[in-house]
Copies of this chain bind each other. A is one copy, B any other.
């Protein structure tokens, strides 16, 4: 079935229409088709499609170019599809309402209503944000055609509660391994229990005090957690190995290399193997186009503690922020919803920023 999107409907209405075109990660085709058809009707935009990722650009020769980006996919349905309005049409419940079809609706409304924005605008609608990096449409596009993403500043319309969220924290995972010596448990003193030894690794985690550094005026909050532990040979054997997997969420004033050095030193009594590591991004809200943006949309910016695609823009040398009408705390929950008012208000703020 071909879906038709009416970009002249208001933001909340358009959000409902977007939610009602299912687009779980990997199955964004029908939604990408509908968005493409709607955008191709707008003569002021140049369209490119890459898989189920769409890029629509104005080409007005403005001195500055900004990117407005959002993902088309959602997490799997949980009995919350299609969407449902409350009696007063103030709250829309359903999968992807907050994360992030409300944001996509705002992008589409701006695309439709801003034929001549004061800055050139690149609208990016991408696939597979909710799954692993190797399938992420923004990542794939940044490798295949980075020139399409070129911009002086980017806004990701991820749910941020209508507040500017600046930067993002880095995240690394490491396996910390305690070693011991096997023995029969009936004569355990002939061995050395690696699980008991791992207690000292957990001691480090339990004693750890998080830094809350202020970077570019925003307060971050680091975190260090065991996310997995495993050890054991058999029910009658003193185990000789126990692996604690830790996840370190680090503020953007540490580079990925510094974060690894820190973890290596913290666990210097044990073997440390790094499993993955994605650097954070500084907020950069104190100057340039990001500062202009914050002034334009108002409110008090806060630090983004999770890792987001903001870091992908940072990698390309593009300062970026999260700013969207969805509510981050309820993303991925069965009761996910979004309120109508913040959708209209985010559209209004961005429209003002891009016209005055």
Contacts and interface: CB of A to CB of B under 8 A. Distances in A.
Most buried by B among A196, A244, A306: A196
A234 B226 contact: no
Report which residue of A184, A187, A199, A233 has the largest number of chain B beta carbons within 10 angstroms of its beta carbon.
A199
Contacts of A229: 195, 198, 229-232, 242
A188 B210 CA distance: 11
Contacts of A236: 171, 227, 247
B228 A228 contact: no
A354 interface: no
A239 B193 CA distance: 24
B196 A305 contact: no
A151 interface: no
A264 B58 CA distance: 70
Contacts of A109: none
Given A169-B186, A198-B202, A235-B247, 14 more contacts: A184-B306, A185-B225, A185-B247, A186-B305, A195-B226, A195-B228, A199-B199, A225-B238, A227-B234, A228-B231, A228-B232, A229-B232, A230-B230, A230-B232
Contacts of A205: 193, 195-196, 199
B306 A223 contact: no
Given A186-B169, A203-B199, A235 B227 contact: yes
* Stoichiometry (number of copies): 2
A206 interface: yes
Interface residues of A, number: 45
Nearest to A245: B232
B198 A249 contact: no
A307 interface: yes
Nearest to A168: B186
Given A193-B226, A230-B230, A249 B202 contact: no
Contacts of A173: 235
A307 to B, nearest CB: 7
Interface centre among A173, A202, A245 (most CB of B within 10 A): A202
Nearest to A228: B232
Contact of A235 (B188, B233, B235, B245): B245
Contact of A226 (B169, B196, B247): B196
A186 B167 CA distance: 13
**Residue from A169, A173, A195, A205 having most chain B Cβ neighbours under 10 A:** A195
A196 B223 contact: no
16 contacts: A169-B186, A171-B236, A187-B305, A189-B223, A195-B205, A195-B226, A196-B206, A199-B199, A199-B205, A199-B206, A227-B233, A227-B236, A228-B232, A229-B229, A229-B232, A235-B245
Interface string A47-67: 000000000000000000000
Contacts of A307: 186
Nearest to A248: B185
A192 B303 CA distance: 22
Contacts of A245: 232, 235
Contacts of A189: 210, 221, 223
Contacts of A185: 171, 223, 225, 227, 247, 249
